[in-house]
Amino acid sequence: MGTGTWTPTVTGKGPVGEVDLTMDRVAVFVDAGYLFAEGARALSGRRLARSDVRLDHRAAVAHLVRFARGKSGMPLLRIYWYDATANRPTRSQVVLAEEADVKLRLGRVDADGRQKGVDALIASDLVSLARNRAMADCVLLSGDDDLRIAVSEIQGFGVRVHLVGICPAPRTQSRLLRQEADSTSEWGAEILRGFMHCRLRSNRRIDVSGMGKDGDFSAQGTRPHHLRPEHAPAVRDMARKVARQVLARQFASRTGRYP
C-alpha cells in the first residue's frame, strides 16, 4: 500500500537515451519474531512469552518510516512485516495488516511453538524486489544468519542494506550477517519503549499456611508447619486455577490466541 509516484531517469546519448528503471525507494523488512523476543529481553531483562508483550502498531510503523527515510534519504516503498501463525491471523496481526504502507507476510508456527518459513519469505521478497528494481535501499530488522546469502545477492543488484539489531546487537544477531550489511544500527530500551511494553508477572510464592477455612489469607495469628485438613479444599481450588492459567499462557504463547 505504498504511496507516491516515480519517474525513470534518462541517461546516455542519442535521441532516446537509456532508461534506468530503478525506483529511488527504501523498503523495510521486519522479522517480528526477532523484534518481540529480543525487544522483550531488552525491556524487561528476561525472556517473556509473546502474550506478555504489547506492540503499539501505529507507533511502530511511524518509527520505522522515520528511521528508513532518515537512513536512506529516500521515500518509503512499503513495510514488509513477517510473522507466523498456527492457523489463521491473530487479531493483532489483522490490525497491523490494515495499517497504511504495511504488507503482512505470514509463516507458520509448529507444534513446538517455533516459527517456520519466515526467513524464506524474507529472502524471497528481498531478492524479488531487488531483481525488479523496486527498491534502491532496504532496512532489515532481523538477526537470522539464514538471510546472509540473500543480503549478499541483492547487493549484487546495487541495493544498499541497512541492518537494525536489538541491543546488544552483537549478541542478538549473526556476526556474519552484520559483516555483510552496508550499515548497522542498534535499538535499545529507550527506543523500544516508544512502541513496545511488557507485562511482567509476579513470581512471588504464596504462603498458604495461614489460610482460613474459606480461603482467606488474612492473618490467623498462627503459622503451622503443616497444612491443616480443613485447608485442603481451598488449596485444591487454587491449584486448579493456577494450572488453568499456566495452560492458557502456554496455548497463547504457541498460537498467539487465548483459549
CB 103 within 8 A of CB 79: yes
Whether the per-residue pLDDT at 25 is higher than 80: the answer is yes
pLDDT single digits (tens) 186-210: 999 999 999 999 987 765 444 444 4
Poorest-pLDDT segment among 105-114, 200-209, 235-244: 200-209
- Taking the C-alpha atoms of 212, 213, 216 and 217 in order, what is their torsion angle to the nearest 10 degrees? 30
Reduced to 3 states, what is the DSSP secondary structure of residue 16?
Answer: coil
Q: Residue 6's pLDDT is what?
A: 45
In the block, cell 492473618 appears at 219
**C-alpha to C-alpha distances, 89 to 37, 82, 204, 244, nearest whole angstrom:** 19, 12, 34, 24
Q: For the domain bounded by 20-198, which CATH number is listed?
A: 3.40.50.1010
Q: Identify the band that residue 213 occupies on the pLDDT scale cut at 50, 70 and 90.
A: very low
Q: What average pLDDT does this structure show over 77-93?
A: 92
Q: Domain coordinates of the chain in residue numbers? A: 20-198, 204-259
Whether the per-residue pLDDT at 175 is higher than 90: the answer is yes
**C-alpha to C-alpha distances, 225 to 125, 205, 209, nearest whole angstrom:** 63, 16, 7
Whether the per-residue pLDDT at 47 is higher than 80: the answer is yes
Taking all residues of the chain, what is their mean pLDDT, rounded to a whole number? 82
Per DSSP, helices labelled H in 46-174 are: 57-72, 91-97, 118-131, 148-155, 169-172
Instruction: Read off the C-alpha cell for 120.
Output: 524464506
Between 115 and 24, where is the model more confident? 24
Between 177 and 226, where is the model more confident? 177
**Please, which residues bridge with residue 162 across strands?**
139, 183
pTM of the model: 0.71
Q: Residue 218's pLDDT is what?
A: 45
Whether the per-residue pLDDT at 14 is higher than 70: the answer is no
Q: What average pLDDT does this structure show over 86-111?
A: 90
Whether the per-residue pLDDT at 246 is higher than 90: the answer is no
Strands 76-85 and 26-31: parallel
